[in-house]
């Protein structure tokens, strides 16, 4: 919740606006993905009322349209509406990498903190991405 940067006194408030928007968007997207993971993820987020409060703040006044959209998605997933899986229509594939082969400097979070792997490149991570290869074609 801290990474949503809702606290005006948060140390990362001094980052450039683009970096703050990226940080908020990335973390609210993670929360949205956890919210649809039943039963463990969804139940864990539902147990803490501050999660929904923070998501409402981002949905209303997030730093980017994408962050607002992900917050709305997370709120819907955490609502009492029944989540229904369908075999028809648009599909979503979730990819992740556990290579840990390389620490990739992306956005400095502090003097020694760097983001590692994650979603640094579309369709693959910078630690295992090889030129000409795409994870999903």
Per-residue pLDDT of the chain (137 residues; tens, 9 = 90+): 888 999 999 888 999 999 999 999 999 999 999 998 877 888 999 999 899 999 999 999 999 999 999 999 999 999 887 767 677 776 666 555 555 444 444 444 443 333 333 334 344 444 444 444 444 43
pLDDT score of 73: 92
Are residue 73 and residue 102 in the same domain, yes or no? no
Are residue 97 and residue 73 in the same domain, yes or no? no
Q: pTM of this prediction? A: 0.60
pLDDT score of 1: 84
With respect to residue 86, please indicate whether it lies within any of the assigned structural domains.
no
With respect to residue 12, please indicate whether it lies within any of the assigned structural domains.
yes
Are residue 48 and residue 106 in the same domain, yes or no? no
Are residue 103 and residue 66 in the same domain, yes or no? no
Q: Which of 31, 54, 78 is the last residue of a domain?
A: 78
Structure tokens at 131: 């030129």
pLDDT score of 80: 84
pLDDT score of 37: 84
Residue 44: give the domain boundaries: 2-78
pLDDT score of 2: 86
Are residue 100 and residue 136 in the same domain, yes or no? yes
Contacts of residue 104, defined as CB under 8 A and 6 or more positions apart, other chains included, come to: 114, 115, 116, 117, 120, 125, 126, 127
pLDDT score of 96: 55
With respect to residue 88, please indicate whether it lies within any of the assigned structural domains.
no
With respect to residue 84, please indicate whether it lies within any of the assigned structural domains.
no
Are residue 46 and residue 100 in the same domain, yes or no? no
Report the domain count for the chain.
2
Are residue 39 and residue 106 in the same domain, yes or no? no
């Amino acid at each position: 919740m801290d990474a949503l940067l809702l606290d005006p006194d948060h140390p990362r408030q001094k980052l450039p606006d683009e970096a703050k928007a990226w940080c908020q968007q990335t973390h609210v997207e993670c929360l949205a993905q956890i919210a649809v993971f039943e039963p463990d993820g969804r139940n864990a987020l539902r147990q803490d009322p501050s999660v929904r409060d923070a998501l409402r703040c981002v949905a209303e006044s997030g730093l980017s349209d994408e962050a607002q959209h992900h917050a709305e998605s997370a709120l819907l997933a955490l609502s009492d509406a029944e989540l229904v899986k369908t075999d028809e229509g648009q599909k979503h594939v979730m990819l992740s990498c556990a290579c840990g082969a390389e620490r990739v400097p992306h956005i400095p979070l502090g003097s020694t903190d760097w983001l590692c792997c994650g979603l640094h490149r579309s369709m693959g991570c910078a630690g295992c991405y090889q030129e000409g290869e795409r994870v999903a074609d």
